[in-house]
Structure 1
Amino acid sequence: MKMPDIALPPGVTARFGENPQQVAEELADTVADALRRRLAEAAEATLVVSGGSTPRPFFAALSRKELDWARVIVTLADERWVDEPDPASNAGLVKSSLLRNRAAAACFLPLKQEGETPAQGLDAVKAGLARLRTPVDVLVLGMGSDGHTASWFPDAPELSVAMDPACPDPVAAMTPPSQDRARITLTWPVLCNARFTALHIKGADKLVTLRTALAHPAELSAMPVRAFLKAGLQIFWSP
């Protein structure tokens, strides 16, 4: 297919594929290679992934990759504050789609903990992430049509806290009015300092969002994905 005409910042690369499965396989190969390289020099490797429908084929492809999964720590960039059996749970998605086949041996750190609200469960979430060492080795993000990524929604009252480079906490509670569920999200110090970051997106509408984000890169709070549109980012897109 013809490559979309998008001017990328220096150091940002993009892979535009023919279909979602092709891109999922390419992303899985790229992520597996990054994890193998890290495991060659460290006792463990960390993988942070995102939820939604787009990553399902990527999760399936990655789950079959041969590497020392028992030394891989997996967690989520963000989560809806729902129990795992809920269809909206990102943890449920990761367990059913990624943590199977060879990847069943990985260690999963869920974000949802006890508590009626994310704010009430925040201390438990932080305790549950004790094994998550930073900088994160591999981060795979998605992007919404409003330019949000993770649970950094433009209308969330807590956005300035989550996007503060000096935020002392690895996670923040998020209550964006545009969403029907409260959220928990990793914060700037964890997400923006990852060793490798990929942005996995699908559909013509996401190209429109990406172009808009690139047009005014300094306005981070209006489209938080702009925080990641910097050198080193790899974008994976499919129709």
Structure 2
Amino acid sequence: MKMPEVDWPPTIEPVLGEDAAEIASRLADAVAERLAKALEVKDRASMAVSGGSTPKPFFEKLREMPLDWSRVDITLADERWVATDSSDSNERLLRETLLQGPADKARFVGLKQKHDTANAGQPLAEAALAEMAWPLDVVILGMGNDGHTASLFPDAPEIDGALDESLADRCMALHPASQPLPRLSLTRSALEGAEWVALHLRGDDKMDTLMTAISDMKAIREMPVRAFLGAGVRLFWSP
């Protein structure tokens, strides 16, 4: 397949390839390099990753990297408000993929708390996140075909607050009308403050969505991923 010819905005650094495994490997190498550099200058490094099927090969590559994993904090960009053993749980995905082998020594900070509702669990998640090293060293985001990233959905009633760059909260409960489950998501301010942000996408449909997003970077409310496309992001994409 011919790679898309795009006049990329200066805030987007594209890494494109025809093979998903190759892109996953290149992303894993880049993330490991960033985490290793962080550990050279401070006691702990921190990272937030996203769920879904796209990052699985990346997780399997990253977990084998020769890092001092015992000094790495890992959390999620977002989580569905379900039991952590549910097939819908991003935490379960991470425990079955990334947090294996050498990477099982990392400290995982989950977003799902022992409360019936995301709103009630948010303060506990906020307290747990405060134990990590901030700002985050690495953030890996995905993107939906509606332009959402993490759980920053354009149809969530709470989206304006979650996109507020001055918000002190690192996470927020969101209830998108398009989604069957409530969510807890890291906020724009928490994600955007990271030292290094990557967007990991797979599929022609995602490239089409991305082209729509970069066509009007200022309309963040309509496609929240634009907040990160305009702030500086590394794009890792394959068909």
TM above 0.5: yes
User: Aligned partners of 1:106, 1:23: CA distance in 2, in Å?
Assistant: 24
Q: Could you tell which deviates more after superposition, 124-133 or 146-155?
A: 124-133
Partner of 2:168: 168
Structure 1 letter corresponding to 2:18? E
Structure 1 segment 90-109 matched on structure 2, within 5 A: 90-109=90-109
- Cα deviation for residue 206 of structure 1 reads 0.3
Partner amino acid, structure 2, of 1:54? T
Residue 203 (structure 2) aligns with: 203
Q: How does 1:80-159 map to 2 (within 5 A)?
A: 80-159=80-159
Tell me if the contact between 2:35 and 2:137 (Cα under 8 Å) persists in the aligned partners. yes
What letter matches 1:142 in structure 2? G
Q: Determine the C-alpha separation between the residues in 2 that align with 1:7 and 1:145.
A: 21
Unaligned residue ranges in structure 2 (runs of 5+): none
Whether the aligned pair in 1 keeps the contact of 2:3 and 2:18 (CA below 8 Å) is no
Deviation at 1:217, TM superposition (A): 0.4
Q: What is the rounded CA distance, in whole Å, between the counterparts of 1:75 and 1:60 in structure 2?
A: 17
Distance 1:7 1:140 in 2: 23
* Corresponding pairs, count: 239
Inter-partner Cα distance in structure 1 for 2:130 and 2:56? 27
CA deviations over 1:155-196 (Å, ceiling 9, x no partner): 000001111111121110000010011000011221011100
RMSD: 1.0
Residue matched to 1:47 = 47
% same residue:
46
Partner of 2:183: 183
* Rounded Cα–Cα distance in structure 1 between residues aligned with 2:177 and 2:232: 32
- Asked if 1:223 corresponds to 2:235, the answer is no
Structure 1 segment 31-42 matched on structure 2, within 5 A: 31-42=31-42
Q: Deviations over 1:15-72 (max 9, x none)?
A: 1112211111000000000000110001000010000110000000000001110000
Residues 113-156 of structure 1 deviation map (CA, whole Å, 9 limit, x = unaligned): 01111001111111221212321100000000000000000000
- Residues 79, 90 of structure 2: 8 Å contact kept: yes
Using structure 2 for the length normalisation, give the TM-score: 0.98
* Cα distance, 1:11 vs structure 2: 3.8
Contact 2:82 2:112 in 1 (8 A): yes
- Greater shift in the superposed pair: 125-134 or 113-122: 125-134
Amino acid at match of 1:153: F
- What letter matches 1:59 in structure 2? F
The alignment's TM-score, normalised by the length of structure 1, stands at 0.98
Shift of 1:231: 5.5
> Does structure 2 conserve the Cα–Cα contact (< 8 Å) formed by 1:10 and 1:231?
no
Counterpart CA distance in 2 for 1:54 and 1:94 is 13
